[in-house]
């Protein structure tokens, strides 16, 4: 079958992109039956915003990217951020825990004396 370049409108940004004959061949070889729905940039962006982390029990958990409520850096959480709950990055989470622990220690110390 002769392959020709296909023009597809990206589902995400609406931009037209080329699904080239070479890419089509690659897709076929990979066993993908559907042509891509998003342009290369949007696909790369989606990849960056999602992380798949292999778990000890063999399953894979999906992490969603959000901004840390404290430092604004990228934070990955195992749920889709809704905006209702603050999301913290790993560092801030640890710092928060240490802070809470210190408060607990302080409470106990004051109770003892």
Among 24, 42, 66, 87, binds Zn ion (CB under 5 A): 42
Closest CA to 44 of 78, 70, 13, 75: 13
Q: Which residue, chain included where needed, has tokens 């037209």?
A: 16
Is 45 an interacting residue with respect to Zn ion (CB under 5 A)?
Answer: no
Tell me the closest approach of the beta carbon of residue 59 to Zn ion, in angstroms: 27
- At residue 29, the 3 state secondary structure works out as helix
Site string for Zn ion, 82-111 (x = CB under 5 A): -------x--x-------------------
């Amino acid at each position: 079958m002769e392959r020709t370049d296909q023009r597809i409108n990206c589902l995400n940004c609406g931009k037209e992109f080329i699904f080239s004959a070479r890419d089509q061949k690659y897709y076929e070889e990979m066993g993908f039956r559907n042509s891509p729905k998003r342009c290369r940039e949007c696909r790369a962006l989606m990849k960056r915003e999602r992380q798949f982390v292999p778990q000890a029990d063999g399953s894979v958990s999906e992490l969603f990217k959000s901004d840390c409520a404290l430092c604004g850096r990228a934070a990955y959480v195992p749920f889709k951020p809704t905006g209702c709950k603050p999301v913290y990055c790993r560092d801030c989470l640890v710092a928060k825990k240490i802070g809470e622990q210190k408060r607990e220690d302080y409470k106990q110390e004051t109770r003892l004396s």
